[in-house]
Amino acid sequence: MTVTTVTTVTTITAQVTDTNHLPKGAMPVQVEFDAEGPVRAQHAGQAYRYTGKSGHNRATGLAVREMATVDDARLWITLDCTQVWED
């Protein structure tokens, strides 16, 4: 049996918050989605992949996914990718 995953790549303008919880403003994020949410993202010159962790942002209650680079830089991103929290 062969399983094929179809993804969609798009660029979204996200509201970004830095590690000190300060707003960085709107920034473009190139994102690749699976059926449930983002699996890859290009943000601030770095490539991020979904780590398998998901949950909800405590302040907003929005569903989020954790993403990380190969160098272990991390961020949390909403499923629609309109908000990013750098970690």
Q: Is residue 1 part of a domain?
A: no
Q: Is residue 27 part of a domain?
A: yes
Q: Is residue 56 part of a domain?
A: yes
Q: Is residue 55 part of a domain?
A: yes
Give the pLDDT of residue 8.
72
Q: Which pLDDT tens digit goes with each residue over 12-66?
A: 999 999 999 999 999 999 999 998 999 999 999 999 999 999 999 999 999 999 9
Q: Is residue 2 part of a domain?
A: no
The structure tokens listed for 45 are 């010159």
Residue 49 domain boundaries? 8-86
pLDDT at 6 exceeding the cut of 60: no
Number of domains the chain is built from? 1
The amino acid at residue 65 is R
Report pTM: 0.88
Q: What band does 7 get if pLDDT is binned at 50, 70 and 90? A: low
Q: Is residue 17 part of a domain?
A: yes
